[in-house]
Structure 1
Amino acid sequence: MLAAVLRRGEVTLHIGARSWRVFSSLARSGSCRILKSPTLVSLDLHEDWTHKVDEDRQKSFDIQNKSNQLDAALIDGKAIAEEIRSEIANEVSWMKSSIRKTPGLAVLLVGDRRDCQIYVHNKILACDEVGIRSEVSELPECCSEDEILNALTNFNENPEIHGVLVQLPLPERFDEEKILSMLPLEKDVDGFHPSNMGNLAMEGREPLFIPCTPKGCLELLLRSGVEIMGKRAVVIGRSNIVGLPTSLLLQRYHATVTVLHAFTKNPERISREADIVVAAVGMPNLVRGNWLKPGAVVIDVGTYPVEDPSSDSGYRLLGDVCYGEAVKVASAITPVPGGVGPMTVAMLLLNTLESAKRVYGFC
């Protein structure tokens, strides 16, 4: 299978000895046994522009032009996520047998949005599958802000809870920034705390947690054997949840990154220059085949439900990328569903495991 071939790609990164700052030392964990990605600090390199002109003249790219082939290879996020979850389950089991401790995740759900309820349900099921303890606090949309803050305080003060997340979006009447600021840095497994985002952006810094969806996107690229260093990458969308941290993470891997947004002029022309395209807007079929450079690798983060009476659920999901067109231009692409979504949940589980390991000093 094409997906299996992609997943056999090997990525070798050499990590040099470094002097760790105190904060960075807290960020270290055993995740290197599960993920291909090393610590971000280990990727930092001194920038040398001396030979830039010569390099530009070479114009060599490792991603092959596949415009004469019918279909792109499938990057099977579901299969890769299952592999990672299996390894997480093994580590959780090892923790339980070794020190009789279990990682714990708490989720706060406000309101009755069907999609949010489904997302939370899937996260809880995933926790059960790998042996992570989970708690859910469900509050009606008519609840007060104080009730939300009290629920978060209880989670924050519970030593058996190592990760806390607020299911977004919250009902519009609530101050989302104020509520999210209640999450302590050491339990921010979604990776949205300003300190986590700031350390992601800065050379020499290591966030305690990398946001789950960007972390999953990078892991898909690494496990698919896609070269990132020196490549041109385009991130379509600049949200705090996906677009911004994805662009920062790609830069830490030494890609040359351009971020496209709603005010970008000629976005299709800019996108056609990219070796790697990450689409994270939430607008179905925004990225057409003529947005893509032949042979580009495409990561489609978008999920948009459309009515489909033939489906058991009554709807089907579309991505930001027009799959039927993109598959005939790209060299590799993630499907929707079954691409980035399962990886996001897997990274949430991994962040929770890493948090518990830090608390207990478990290696």
Structure 2
Amino acid sequence: MLLESLPVPVIAAPMAGGPSTPELVAAVGGAGGLGFLPAGYLTPDALADRIARTTALSTAPFGVNLFVPGPDGGAAEARAYRRLLVDQSGLEPGEPRWDDDSYPAKLELLLALRVPVVSFTFGLPSASDVDRLRAAGTTTVATVTTPAEAEQAARVGVDALCVQGVDAGGHRGTFADDGRSPGGGELLGLLTALRLVGARVSLPLIAAGGIAHGADVAAVLAAGAVAAQLGTAFLACPEAGTAPAHRQALAEGTRRTALTRAFSGRPARGLVNRFLTEHTPHAPAAYPRVHHLTKPIRASGDPELMSMWAGQAYPLARSVPAAQLVADLNGQAVEAIARANARIRPL
């Protein structure tokens, strides 16, 4: 399988909203890793354009990530949240509407283009769609956060799992948001999640969450993963479409991270700012309605109002070209494994 034969077992995570550009994806693939384009928030035409740009830049395989739509709910709660933003903060939100993110049309596009890898976040594809993708030569990956989700994913027949720890930046890949716990459900660190999932299913595992150094890559490979997926580590690369204020905040490295529903209505980890602090206690579990109502606020460019997603290891991110980062991660992993081999001896 493609995931198990990558020259470098490093995957650039799909980061929706701008950071994951065709240039970033092509650079990671050209360096021996696997880059991912995010389909989230894009129209099918915009996604087709990004795929075309990526294939024009590189012949390396790449992946595309789809957001699986959930049920239409939380309308009243989202409207109440909108009123709170207007009344207490004087902000000008958008309308809290629900949509399916054009999921069916995007899926058909990926089938037609025979994209090498397709991953799913926020839920699972149908078993019949997994079969259709496999017939098109596509490897399918489901994002999971718990062993129970992993077992559900295995039952629909996906080829691999991306196991996401709570230390990851950006949105949690939970299938459902309970609306109560900060992360929408059980909060497992990456190594714990990886080992528990590996004990329950026999699929190849990709590890995601808090990985920023080659030693982390070596650690998750030793724990059973076939590859490590990094998102935040690539945000500082020049090829990434990271917003200037977000890039600066990452470089400063002074903010802590926290989980919040304030920006989208789904749990996500980001750098703490004024908006996150003031509105996390009031934000409902109402994705994508909250995403749409905060969109004009987030577009302000004000670092105190933006969603600046980041994992817990973000201070380790370096501003280097993506290809160099992949090479450095590989070299660091080799060194880490050599140190471990020198330390661990048969009894």
Q: TM-score scaled to structure 1, two decimals?
A: 0.29
Q: Between the two structures, name the one with larger relative contact order (CA 8 Å, sep ≥ 6).
A: 1
- Higher Rg of the two aligned structures: 1
